[in-house]
Amino acid sequence: MINQAELSTYKENFKTDFRASIVVFLVAVPLCLGIALASGAPLFSGLIAGIIGGTIVSLFSGSQISVSGPAAGLAVVVFEAIRTLGSFDSFLVAVVLAGLIQILMGYMKAGTIGAFFPSNVIKAMLTAIGLILIMKQIPYAIGYTDLSEMTHNSVCDNLGTCATDMVAIFMNHLTPVSVVISIISLVILFLWEKPFIKNSVVAKIMPGALVVVVLGIIVEVILATIKSPFAIDKSQLVSLPSIHGIEGFFDILTTPDWSTLANPHIYIAAVTIAIIASLETLLSLEAADKIDPLKRIAPTNKELKAQGIGNTISGLVGGLPITAVIVRTSANVYNGGKTKISAFFHGIWLMLSVLFLIDYLGYIPLASLAAILLFVGYKLASPKLFMEVWKQGPSQSIPFIATIVAILFTDLLIGISIGVAVAIFFIIRSNYHQAITLKKDGDLQYTVLLQKNVNFLNKSLLRESLAKIENNSSVVIDYSQAEFIEHDIMETIEDYILTSKSKNIKVETKLPEESKDLEAIYGK
């Protein structure tokens, strides 16, 4: 239920939220279509997901400014899942199950799941997705839409064959008009990021993605009208089903093929979608909280439930998976959006565009959408990001690179698992060296300092350190800074104290005041 304070906030900000909703809608249309294109799914499914993300998720979400819809970060997962499961209606079963998993995660208070993934691994996941988006959109950008000649692994069978396929397509199937549209579109998108345009009134009224789409439509209409030999072929334009009224809208919705529930790959796809969608949502939510003008903090567990409800419904009616999305959220905030009214109305505008403007959307060249996705891919895999991570040293850069390579040659879930494993190795390695320090205080005088948590993984390092102490020395074993000492470590030190007498090594212990029991153990 909406309380009186929330109702007052909605009334107070209605005008700015209403205006923001229109801008978000204009940003969402090309992104919904483009992400569906990148996912290998029917383009209509992207619009359905946008409608559900706006009208349903916003109602249940705890965030006042976050916008939900189909996400570029899931495009690779969706593409691979559809390929593995064999059909889009089979894939919809996985989307429904993923939604139910997210609802369960919300009730299990798994909203902190993002904190358990190293930031360099998450950055690598998004970077790998950006690289894959770029590689998959190049054929569309040059006017080639029959991808049957290309293999269909996460990138291709491998990077080498993918590069060979790309060169062959580029040489044999290049369409000049599509190339020109793509290049000009990319120039516009990059210019729209420059401060002198980004901060202008024009950019706020006409987002770069919308300018690109309008430009593509104008080129298509002009070439078709003058019957130019360079006119864009219908196979290189957005293809959407015709809708006649609200009844027609419901008639063309795709429903899940429940007979595929016996397929074990359905459950693998569902878990993958649930994890990646939840991660992307939580990351977007964290970013949204940082740009919220009213500095509100959205409840993460409530958001997982809202996304789960959205994905369950989206899967039932033929939509793509949904997450909170930072591009549309940013557009919302920067154009005055302060409450969920703007996200809800952007979903309404998407619905109305599907009912009454769908024929006009059919004039959009696929090259225009490809340019938008190439730009998104570039921003995800920015060279600047590579440089920033590289400067942070091997403990950050090696897991980052390992995750990207693993994702490119396997899939997202395996790649992330490998990245996390490499990151954990560096964490253990760092703790291994920092937990125990041997210092030489003077001639035949040593201190063995145990810091923080010391466990069995440090036993080998402890033995190496103790072995360096010369005969006839004196050594202080300092526990004062240790928070936890595992039994294996205590046992190793106790053995050393007993054997040190034969080497004429005098051992003293420095303990925290509350550790009288340890003093009794080593005071024998």
Name the more confident of 345 and 392.
345
Q: Check: CATH 3.30.70.520 for 435-522?
A: no
Share above pLDDT 90 across residues of the chain, in percent, rounded to a whole number: 29
Name the more confident of 212 and 143.
212
Residue 410's pLDDT is: 78
Most confident of 189-203, 335-349, 469-483: 335-349
For the stretch 389-392, contacts whose Cβ atoms lie closer than 8 Å and that sit 24 or more positions apart, written own/partner, are: 389/120, 389/123, 392/120
Which residues touch 99 (CB under 8 Å, ≥6 apart)?
Answer: 274, 307, 308, 309, 310, 311, 312, 313, 314, 315
| Structural domain boundaries in the chain | 15-381, 389-431, 435-522
Mean pLDDT, residues 286-291 taken together: 80
Confidence label for 309 from pLDDT (cuts 50, 70 and 90): very high
Mean pLDDT, residues 65-77 taken together: 89
Calpha distance 113→427 (Å, rounded): 19
> Residue 496 carries which side chain, given as an amino acid letter?
Y
CB atoms within 10 A of CB 88: 20
Residue 96's pLDDT is: 97
For residue 267, pLDDT over 70 is answered with yes
Residue 98's pLDDT is: 97
Residue 264's pLDDT is: 94
Residue 199's pLDDT is: 76
Mean pLDDT, residues 215-233 taken together: 87
For residue 449 the two structure tokens come to 């300092």
Residue 167's pLDDT is: 63
Q: Alpha helix locations (H) across 318-340? A: 326-334
Calpha distance 104→108 (Å, rounded): 6
For residue 390, pLDDT over 80 is answered with yes
Share above pLDDT 70 across residues of the chain, in percent, rounded to a whole number: 89
Note whether 361 and 33 are within 8 A (CB): yes
Name the more confident of 86 and 234.
86
The dihedral built from the CA positions of residue 418, 423, 424 and 429, taken in this order, carries a sign that is positive
Q: Which of 31, 123, 27 is closest to 423 using CA atoms?
A: 123
Mean pLDDT, residues 207-226 taken together: 88
